[in-house]
Amino acid sequence: MHTIVFFGDSITQQGNSGNGFIAQLRQQLSATDYQLIGAGIGGNKVYDLYLRLERDVLLLEPDTTVILIGINDIWHKEKGIGVDIVKYEQFYRAIIEKLLQHQSKVILCTLTVIGERTNQSNPMDADLEAYSQVVTTLASDYQITCVALRQIFTQYLQIHNTTNAYKGILTTDGVHLNTIGNTLVATALLPLLQQLSN
Protein backbone atom coordinates (compact mmCIF):
# COMPACT_ATOMS: atom_id res chain seq x y z
CA MET A 1 0.00 0.00 0.00
CA HIS A 2 1.45 3.33 -1.12
CA THR A 3 0.29 6.22 1.09
CA ILE A 4 0.11 9.64 -0.57
CA VAL A 5 -0.64 12.80 1.43
CA PHE A 6 -1.82 15.92 -0.40
CA PHE A 7 -0.66 18.93 1.60
CA GLY A 8 -1.98 22.42 0.96
CA ASP A 9 -4.70 25.04 1.36
CA SER A 10 -8.39 25.22 0.37
CA ILE A 11 -7.66 24.04 -3.18
CA THR A 12 -6.37 20.78 -1.71
CA GLN A 13 -9.13 20.71 0.93
CA GLN A 14 -11.83 21.02 -1.74
CA GLY A 15 -9.93 18.54 -3.91
CA ASN A 16 -10.67 15.78 -1.41
CA SER A 17 -14.41 15.49 -2.08
CA GLY A 18 -17.03 15.68 -4.84
CA ASN A 19 -15.33 16.20 -8.20
CA GLY A 20 -12.08 17.34 -6.57
CA PHE A 21 -8.74 16.24 -7.98
CA ILE A 22 -7.96 13.89 -5.07
CA ALA A 23 -11.43 12.33 -5.35
CA GLN A 24 -10.88 11.88 -9.11
CA LEU A 25 -7.49 10.26 -8.49
CA ARG A 26 -9.07 7.88 -5.95
CA GLN A 27 -11.38 6.64 -8.70
CA GLN A 28 -8.48 6.16 -11.12
CA LEU A 29 -5.96 4.49 -8.80
CA SER A 30 -6.36 1.02 -7.30
CA ALA A 31 -7.67 1.18 -3.73
CA THR A 32 -5.62 -1.91 -2.90
CA ASP A 33 -2.39 -0.24 -4.03
CA TYR A 34 -2.93 3.37 -2.93
CA GLN A 35 -4.18 5.28 0.08
CA LEU A 36 -4.83 8.95 -0.77
CA ILE A 37 -5.13 11.35 2.17
CA GLY A 38 -6.19 14.99 1.85
CA ALA A 39 -4.43 17.33 4.30
CA GLY A 40 -5.57 20.70 2.96
CA ILE A 41 -6.86 23.50 5.20
CA GLY A 42 -8.49 26.63 3.82
CA GLY A 43 -6.56 29.87 4.25
CA ASN A 44 -3.23 28.14 4.90
CA LYS A 45 0.04 29.72 3.85
CA VAL A 46 3.45 28.06 3.66
CA TYR A 47 4.27 28.68 7.34
CA ASP A 48 0.96 27.06 8.38
CA LEU A 49 2.06 23.94 6.53
CA TYR A 50 5.41 24.04 8.30
CA LEU A 51 3.72 24.33 11.71
CA ARG A 52 1.37 21.38 11.13
CA LEU A 53 3.79 19.20 9.15
CA GLU A 54 4.49 16.82 12.05
CA ARG A 55 0.86 16.33 13.06
CA ASP A 56 -0.83 16.22 9.67
CA VAL A 57 1.81 14.57 7.48
CA LEU A 58 4.84 13.02 9.20
CA LEU A 59 2.76 11.03 11.72
CA LEU A 60 1.03 9.36 8.75
CA GLU A 61 4.42 8.18 7.44
CA PRO A 62 3.55 8.90 3.78
CA ASP A 63 5.48 7.25 0.99
CA THR A 64 4.83 10.37 -1.10
CA THR A 65 3.74 13.92 -0.25
CA VAL A 66 2.22 16.19 -2.91
CA ILE A 67 2.47 19.91 -2.05
CA LEU A 68 0.46 22.76 -3.56
CA ILE A 69 0.87 25.97 -1.53
CA GLY A 70 1.30 29.67 -2.21
CA ILE A 71 -2.02 31.08 -3.40
CA ASN A 72 -2.87 32.64 -0.01
CA ASP A 73 0.73 33.76 0.49
CA ILE A 74 0.19 36.00 -2.57
CA TRP A 75 -3.57 36.66 -2.45
CA HIS A 76 -3.53 37.85 1.18
CA LYS A 77 -0.94 40.52 0.39
CA GLU A 78 -4.00 42.64 -0.51
CA LYS A 79 -4.93 42.55 3.19
CA GLY A 80 -1.33 43.03 4.32
CA ILE A 81 -1.04 39.44 5.61
CA GLY A 82 0.72 37.73 2.71
CA VAL A 83 4.12 36.02 2.80
CA ASP A 84 7.03 37.64 0.98
CA ILE A 85 8.93 35.55 -1.52
CA VAL A 86 12.07 35.17 0.63
CA LYS A 87 10.12 33.76 3.60
CA TYR A 88 8.07 31.62 1.19
CA GLU A 89 11.23 29.95 -0.07
CA GLN A 90 12.70 29.53 3.43
CA PHE A 91 9.62 27.82 4.88
CA TYR A 92 9.09 25.72 1.75
CA ARG A 93 12.71 24.56 1.84
CA ALA A 94 12.36 23.56 5.52
CA ILE A 95 9.22 21.53 4.72
CA ILE A 96 10.94 19.68 1.87
CA GLU A 97 14.00 18.89 3.99
CA LYS A 98 11.89 17.46 6.83
CA LEU A 99 9.91 15.28 4.43
CA LEU A 100 13.05 13.97 2.76
CA GLN A 101 14.58 13.22 6.18
CA HIS A 102 11.50 11.07 6.86
CA GLN A 103 12.01 9.17 3.58
CA SER A 104 8.90 10.58 1.90
CA LYS A 105 9.11 11.19 -1.82
CA VAL A 106 8.05 14.77 -2.55
CA ILE A 107 6.12 16.14 -5.53
CA LEU A 108 5.85 19.93 -5.82
CA CYS A 109 3.23 21.82 -7.83
CA THR A 110 3.60 25.32 -9.23
CA LEU A 111 0.72 27.68 -8.51
CA THR A 112 -2.56 27.80 -10.39
CA VAL A 113 -4.42 31.10 -10.81
CA ILE A 114 -5.78 34.16 -9.03
CA GLY A 115 -7.98 35.31 -11.88
CA GLU A 116 -8.31 33.56 -15.24
CA ARG A 117 -7.65 36.43 -17.65
CA THR A 118 -5.07 35.65 -20.29
CA ASN A 119 -1.79 37.34 -21.28
CA GLN A 120 -0.65 38.03 -17.71
CA SER A 121 -3.42 40.59 -17.22
CA ASN A 122 -4.56 39.50 -13.73
CA PRO A 123 -3.23 41.78 -10.96
CA MET A 124 -1.24 39.02 -9.23
CA ASP A 125 0.12 37.19 -12.28
CA ALA A 126 3.66 38.54 -11.81
CA ASP A 127 3.76 37.19 -8.24
CA LEU A 128 2.28 33.86 -9.34
CA GLU A 129 5.03 33.50 -11.92
CA ALA A 130 7.76 34.50 -9.44
CA TYR A 131 6.57 32.18 -6.66
CA SER A 132 6.10 29.36 -9.17
CA GLN A 133 9.71 29.89 -10.24
CA VAL A 134 10.73 29.43 -6.59
CA VAL A 135 8.90 26.08 -6.59
CA THR A 136 10.63 25.04 -9.82
CA THR A 137 14.02 26.02 -8.40
CA LEU A 138 13.40 24.10 -5.17
CA ALA A 139 12.47 21.00 -7.15
CA SER A 140 15.71 21.33 -9.09
CA ASP A 141 17.77 21.93 -5.94
CA TYR A 142 16.45 18.78 -4.28
CA GLN A 143 16.10 16.77 -7.51
CA ILE A 144 12.42 16.10 -6.89
CA THR A 145 9.45 16.13 -9.23
CA CYS A 146 7.68 19.39 -10.08
CA VAL A 147 4.27 19.51 -11.76
CA ALA A 148 3.94 22.67 -13.85
CA LEU A 149 0.32 23.49 -12.97
CA ARG A 150 0.88 27.20 -13.62
CA GLN A 151 1.91 26.49 -17.21
CA ILE A 152 -0.85 23.90 -17.69
CA PHE A 153 -3.51 26.35 -16.47
CA THR A 154 -2.29 29.39 -18.42
CA GLN A 155 -1.97 27.38 -21.64
CA TYR A 156 -5.49 25.98 -21.23
CA LEU A 157 -6.90 29.46 -20.60
CA GLN A 158 -5.06 30.89 -23.60
CA ILE A 159 -7.05 28.49 -25.79
CA HIS A 160 -10.38 28.25 -23.97
CA ASN A 161 -10.92 31.65 -22.30
CA THR A 162 -11.95 33.40 -25.51
CA THR A 163 -13.87 36.18 -23.72
CA ASN A 164 -10.97 36.88 -21.30
CA ALA A 165 -13.26 36.19 -18.33
CA TYR A 166 -11.95 36.54 -14.77
CA LYS A 167 -13.55 33.29 -13.65
CA GLY A 168 -15.71 30.38 -14.79
CA ILE A 169 -13.40 28.43 -17.10
CA LEU A 170 -11.27 26.54 -14.55
CA THR A 171 -12.47 28.15 -11.31
CA THR A 172 -15.70 29.12 -9.62
CA ASP A 173 -14.37 32.45 -8.33
CA GLY A 174 -11.00 33.06 -9.97
CA VAL A 175 -9.18 30.88 -7.41
CA HIS A 176 -11.07 27.76 -6.30
CA LEU A 177 -11.23 25.05 -8.93
CA ASN A 178 -14.34 23.86 -10.74
CA THR A 179 -14.60 20.32 -12.10
CA ILE A 180 -12.53 21.11 -15.21
CA GLY A 181 -9.81 22.76 -13.12
CA ASN A 182 -9.72 19.76 -10.79
CA THR A 183 -9.54 17.42 -13.79
CA LEU A 184 -6.51 19.31 -15.13
CA VAL A 185 -4.73 18.78 -11.80
CA ALA A 186 -5.72 15.11 -11.59
CA THR A 187 -4.63 14.48 -15.19
CA ALA A 188 -1.23 16.06 -14.52
CA LEU A 189 -0.67 14.02 -11.35
CA LEU A 190 -2.06 10.64 -12.44
CA PRO A 191 0.90 9.32 -14.49
CA LEU A 192 3.36 10.39 -11.78
CA LEU A 193 1.37 8.59 -9.09
CA GLN A 194 0.92 5.49 -11.25
CA GLN A 195 4.71 5.19 -11.49
CA LEU A 196 5.03 5.09 -7.71
CA SER A 197 3.64 1.59 -7.26
CA ASN A 198 5.87 0.10 -9.97
pLDDT per position in the chain (198 positions), as tens?
A: 999 999 999 999 999 999 999 999 999 999 899 999 999 999 999 999 999 999 999 999 999 999 999 999 999 998 899 999 999 999 999 999 999 999 999 999 999 999 999 989 999 999 999 999 999 999 999 999 999 999 999 999 999 999 999 999 999 999 999 999 999 999 999 999 999 876
- The predicted pLDDT at position 18 comes to 96
| 177 φ, ψ (degrees, to nearest 5) | -80, 140
User: Could you give the CA distance from residue 161 to residue 170 in angstroms, rounded to a whole number?
Assistant: 9
pLDDT of residue 63: 98
pTM: predicted TM-score of the whole model, two decimal places: 0.98
pLDDT for 102 equals 98
- Please give the domain boundaries of the chain with CATH numbers for all domains: 2-196 (3.40.50.1110)
**CA–CA distance, 187 with 174 (Å, rounded to integer):** 20
Whether the CB-CB separation of 149 and 68 falls below 8 Å is answered with yes
CB-count exposure of residue 50 (10 Å: 0-12, 13-18, 19+): middle
Could you write out the DSSP letters of every residue in 96-118?
HHHHHHTT-EEEEE----SS--S
Residue type, 17: S
139-to-109, 131, 182, 197 alpha-carbon distances in Å: 9, 13, 23, 21
